[in-house]
Chains A and B, each alone.
Chain A
Amino acid sequence: MTDFLVLAFVFLAAGVVAVPIASRLGLGSVLGYLIAGVAISPILSALNVDVVAIQHFAEFGVVMMLFLVGLELEPKMLWHMRHRLLGLGGLQVGATTVLVTGVAMVFGLTWSVALACGLVLALSSTAIVLQTLNEKGLMKSDGGQASFSVLLFQDIAVIPMLALIPLLALPELADVASHAVGHGTEAVAEAATHDDAHHDDGHGMNINLVEGLPAWQAALATIAAIAGVIVGGAYLTTPAFRFVAMANLRELFVATALLFVIGIALLMTLVGLSPALGTFFAGVVLANSEYRHELESDIDPFRGLLLGLFFMTVGAAVNFGVLFSSFGLFIGLTLGLMTLKAAVLFGLAWIFKLRGGDKYLFGLGLAQAGEFGFVLLSFTVANNVIPKDIADQLLLVVALSMMLTPLLFILYEKVILPRLVEDSDRDADEIDETGQIIIAGHGRFGGVINRMMRAAGYSTTVLDYSSSQLDRLRRFGVKVFFGDATRADLLHAAGIHEARLLVVAIDQREAATELVRHVRHEHPKLGIVARAVDRHHVYELYAAGATHIVRDTFDSAVRAGRSAYEELGMHAFDAEMLARAFVDDDKASLVALASVYDPSIAAHENEEYLAKVKELVSQRDDILSGNGKAFLVRTDRGWTPPSREDLDAEQEAEKT
């Protein structure tokens, strides 16, 4: 227990200290975690901690991240990406493998070892690249999408690689090894018991249900598992969440979301597929679900913590003794590898017509080797494909290339991008802004706003916390997401950071004010249209920073008042003018009072506020006592003819 607490404390403290500093310095969280890892590596070795084992555990963060990426990606979009996925991804893996193999053979390695090195180093780091792209908001850019295509292909490519690598086994290594090895995942299971440095590959666990079955049965089981994920995701999520909603406990949603991801990952490993890939597809299936944002915000903290832990273990696993023993060699190898990978990527960027900043994002962002490299390296050693000393050197190269990646992103952001922006034409006039309108609360008020936005062709994201409301809306084909809009993480999952407008239409007065205050604090420039229940709520929302404040019953009451004027025999146009004058007058007093309102003092105890009210009332009384017509004073300004006396005076003046 104490061991666990010490370990947790060391990791958490390192992350909490290093990441804010790194972010403040503009280095990004990934580099912060990596540096934290390097910093705590002496402590970890003093405590005799098996860093690699922790790393394999933390790799589950990658699985969660791919689930979240899947949630962002509708099936339609995935289909749309297929050419890039196969073309870009296939060519990247193929060309890089061939080139690395060639170079390795020049260095004097036998072809089979060289090919294994090529396969291992062709892969990039999904964890670092996706984390950084998300953090910098580059995921939706062309370069971000291309990078994602390649990463996804690599993820798929790992499966055939795991099958291929054992075929490259060196007989002399097998002789040296104390144990005979089979092939496929069986080897991993066996290796886990013998090789204490690398327990398992983290992506294929030690139980495999389809192992030993005839090929057709195994294939059938695999297909059944995938079908199960798709059908279950599509049809069981909603009933499951509705069942959980009955308990009305926040943590149960989190538990359910975790259960989903872990269950799918387990199912995939049982049939020998990559859990990252399986959860990715489950995410895609759920991308259209109304529980999408709920799932996102529930899983996201776990993903963040696990990935952070993963990055720290990468930093901590760097063996500085070995590194400094031949510093020049390792730096040379790492830079050589990254240059070669970047060259392939720039070539692909040219073929696939990526332009400007996207080209550099793609070319520099994917130039590292990745966490799958760690996995495959331990796998190759276990299968006697690569000698252990070479594998250890490669391990260092992979880690170093990962540590250099955040620096390349900084280079992209600070040096390359500003130049490109300067060069490109500035014609910002008629850019069609993208971005969502987020509507919090979809009752009678928010519903009308949603319909108006959609009628004008804007896309909206609607958040509501009532299951019955959701059911009703779904029947009308409205896209609504389940969740409490006042929760910051849910708003973030709904895309508040890139939204162009927030509409606060929830019923709860205090919650609405709190929501406005929070969002205004986080996003000073975002437009906020807020619903107020009464005048005092208007002042509160004004103080909280809402851009537009609309009292929910005021306009309809004014219309009713206007109808009353008409019913009393007033001409319709006079009634309209009078109603407008009333609104203007009311607004003027509202603005005057909002400036003296203090949310921390009750209105009836706020001296300044009371004084202002008295002043406004007496002004109105003056008007009343003057002619008895209150607002009419304002409306008889327009279209009135000159008085008889004026006309007479003018005619007199004309004569003289």
Chain B
Amino acid sequence: MSHTTPDSVSAVAAAVRRRVLEHTLKNNGGYLSQACSSAEILATLYLRVMRLGSSTAPLVPRRFAGVPSASNPDAFTGADYNGSRTPELDRFIFSPVHYALVLYSLLIELGRLGANALDEFNQDGSTVELIGAEHSPGHEVTAGSLAQALSQAGGIALARRLRGDTGRVWVFMSDGECQEGQTWEAFAALAHHRIGNLGVYIDANAQQCDGPMTSVMTIEPLAERLRAFGAEVHEVDGHDPDALAAPAAMTTMPRERPLVVIARTDPCRGLERLRERAPKLHYVRFQPGQEFETYQALLADLEAN
């Protein structure tokens, strides 16, 4: 929302990094580099891009109520942390659900989730799962098999257009998902059906499980590829809140093609020390002893500032 200043996005992003580092130390492992790369993107989406209502979900995360089925009326999704569904409001679809810890931390900083919600992270019977599921706070679809969320969001966006909703659908993706063929099938379909009420923010941190994407399977030139598939593409500094918010602000509805913001990011942003672990950044577990203590000291510094 426009009343929020860039400083508050940066402040929230810093708090998310700090919380994820704290949890990674406490939990002896975590998706820490993803917090470093995506903190500003997700904070900008929630604070300056998406039009969401207040959370209608409990601050203390609900317990898992069973998988969806015809005989389970109690199953739920975590979408109500993003507010109620109305024709005017936007929707958020979270694709790379191994970033769940980052999203939970952001929801805590924004007051949509209680301060102690991470106590239930990866605990048996909890919805605050390691890899986010559709019942996890802030999540709406089953996305862990990567690249399926964009297609699902396309279906939601098309349905909203058929209904005449004015709200948009925002998708947060990781760059690694651009290796999946389904991503390109989805962009082709979005352009063909002129689905303009959908926007995608890609965390282009250039890292994946096996290491740097250039060594695993390059996806560049990503912007040119996406433009060739019919999207309106903006490439921005993924740690600059103004640059991140601008493409969404300057595009007005109705529009006839999907918007894509490629956010170029640094997987060690805000935690310079992490760079010495490269290229092993996908899942960070500190060595007991000196490394652990070093990061504990870094956390103390972050908390002091």
Whether chain B is bound by chain A comes out as: no
